[in-house]
Amino acid sequence: MLLLLQASKVTVEAPPGKVAGYVSQAWSLCKPRMRIENAEGETMLRIKGPCCQLNICGDIEFDVYAPDEETYVGRVTKQWSGLGKELFTDADNFGISFPLDLDVNVKATLLGAVFLLDFMFFENNTKKDDKMVG
């Protein structure tokens, strides 16, 4: 699986060179929203996140819906890893649930959405000083 990231949009290729689908950020005032699209650009699923992506000592849940945004389909969860790991590392644990009969390309694209969620909301992307001390 190959992920290509451009401006809050991920192209998921599986195998490399064959587009399985796209994950794109949908406009929202304060809550994260994403669209899972097939290779033709049709919306297959939608992801709705919480207004606050900070939850001390608890999981952060992003609900997955059908395109109508009313039928619940599954969930992406950033799982609480413990105080030490959360404070001193940039490592995260995610869980994902979806129907077993979901198209394999949509499943791969949903997995790509997990990477985009992690990158956008949970990674420390500040520029680090590359100078060596010593």
**pLDDT band, residue 31 (cuts 50/70/90):** confident
Rounded Cα gap, residues 84 and 111, in angstroms: 27
Rounded Cα gap, residues 42 and 24, in angstroms: 12
How remote is the C-alpha of 18 from its chain's centroid? 21
Q: Residues, the chain, total?
A: 134
In a domain, 109, yes or no: yes
In a domain, 132, yes or no: no
| 44 touches 106 (CB < 8 A) | yes
Average the pLDDT over 19-42 and give the result. Answer: 88
In a domain, 128, yes or no: no
The DSSP 8-state label assigned to residue 54 in this structure reads -
pLDDT at residue 132, rounded to an integer? 40
In total, how many domains does the chain have? 1
In a domain, 56, yes or no: yes
In a domain, 133, yes or no: no
User: To the nearest whole number, what is the mean pLDDT of the chain?
Assistant: 81
**pLDDT band, residue 17 (cuts 50/70/90):** very high
In a domain, 103, yes or no: yes
Q: Which structural domain, as residue segments, surrounds residue 102? A: 2-122
pLDDT at residue 108, rounded to an integer? 94
Residue 55 has pLDDT above 80, yes or no: no
In a domain, 129, yes or no: no
In a domain, 134, yes or no: no
